[in-house]
A and B are shown apart, each in its own frame.
Chain A
Amino acid sequence: MALPDFLSKDKLIKQGAEARVYRAEFLGKPAIVKERFPKRYRHPALDEKLTHRRTTQEVRSILRCRKAGISVPVVYFVDYTSHCIFLEEITGSLTVSDYIASIQQCKEQELLRLAEQVGQILAKMHDEDVIHGDLTTSNMLLRCSTVDIHQTDLVLIDFGLSYISALPEDKGVDLYVLEKAFLSTHPNTEVLFRKLLEGYAASSKKSPAVIKKLDEVRLRGRKRSMVG
């Protein structure tokens, strides 16, 4: 099999705990290959099952989002034997995390607009009952339009932990995970996150139940941290 040759070290862009991400040309187009490798500390049969599930979940959620008009990378090819997903590379993009870290304070207006946009896309995703499962600002890409620098397009990625659920509780937890990650990655951004939730609330009719659950989960989190 040519795969190990194809996925050479020079193409590696990220070595994570669960997956390696490569940049490569595939059938003549710029692509990202996400390879989920075996984890030695897990029982082989269980590991295979979990890895397979993550791969299929990622692929399924991507298609579900695309059908609803939510920007996510195109899937080009899936190898269920080596657990590799070949995706469209969002060229000329940067993660929302890098963007927030790079921008100056004086561009507050732009940050607020972006936060609102993130809230809107997440509301749309939740309205399709897709729970992302790993919402962080590194799992959102910002594609800068070549035509208009003020016109940016948000793209969601990394759906390996995603699942389908209509429960407000699951959606609330999804937002809670993001809130935790957001505020710890980007200090002093409470205002920004509030704007994100405003964007979310304004775009989904189902948002009141979700926000209510988010408040409950926050309270539980606080109680737990007071005890522990």
Chain B
Amino acid sequence: MHLTKVLELFPDRSVTQMLFKEVKNAAELRQSAVEGEISGALINPAMLVDPFQVLIAANKAVHLQTIGKMKTRSLYSEIIFNLSPTNKISEAFKRFGISDGDDVVMVVVVHNKDDLQHLSDITTRVDGRQIPVEDVSSLSDIEKIKKLYKITPQEEKCGSLLDAVVCRMATKDVM
């Protein structure tokens, strides 16, 4: 169901993605995340094209944390910030974070290779049904994504939507 990937540049860190549907306690989860009780990023799946997009954001967050150059206060807020094409933190949270009424949630956790306790702690908190992470593509709001990242029709001729999104995320610091 979940998807775990070791970060090649930080071999002792892994990123796990878990996707939930029919979630009934989004407001409570969001509150817990704000208070730091949940150590994970709670992401709105409608803004995700593919799990690879999350890996790109997580790798960049861990990198910036390692060199002490994060733009936000925690690793998890940094992941959400990295997903956004702009440098406005509040906007990133509005678009990529979850809202109280949401019923789908992508949970992203960065952990040590064999720290599985951490993961199960989070799964038990979510009142919802876990579905395969790969299904995130069926929840994407393609039109919204294209609009937010300002993807041009020409651009889609030379690559996929995922390519366009990832390229924006990776290059936003120098734009």
Contacts and interface: CB of A to CB of B under 8 A. Distances in A.
B168 interface: yes
Nearest to B69: A81
A58 to B, nearest CB: 10
Interface string A11-41: 0000000000000111111000000000000
B8 A62 contact: no
Contacts of B11: 2
A127 to B, nearest CB: 12
A56 to B, nearest CB: 5
B63 A63 contact: no
Given A67-B154, A69-B155, A69-B158, A59 B174 contact: yes
Given A3-B9, A26-B8, A67 B155 contact: yes
A212 B163 CA distance: 37
Interface residues on A, range: 20 to 34
Interface residues on B, range: 20 to 34
Interface stretch (B17-25, B26-34, B51-59, B140-148): B51-59
Interface stretch (A72-80, A97-105, A179-187, A220-228): A72-80
Contacts of B166: 74-76
Contact of B55 (A1, A27, A67, A75): A27
A81 to B, nearest CB: 6
Given A62-B171, A63-B167, A78-B171, 16 more contacts: A2-B9, A2-B10, A25-B8, A26-B8, A27-B7, A27-B56, A27-B59, A60-B171, A66-B159, A66-B163, A66-B167, A68-B155, A71-B159, A75-B170, A77-B59, A77-B170
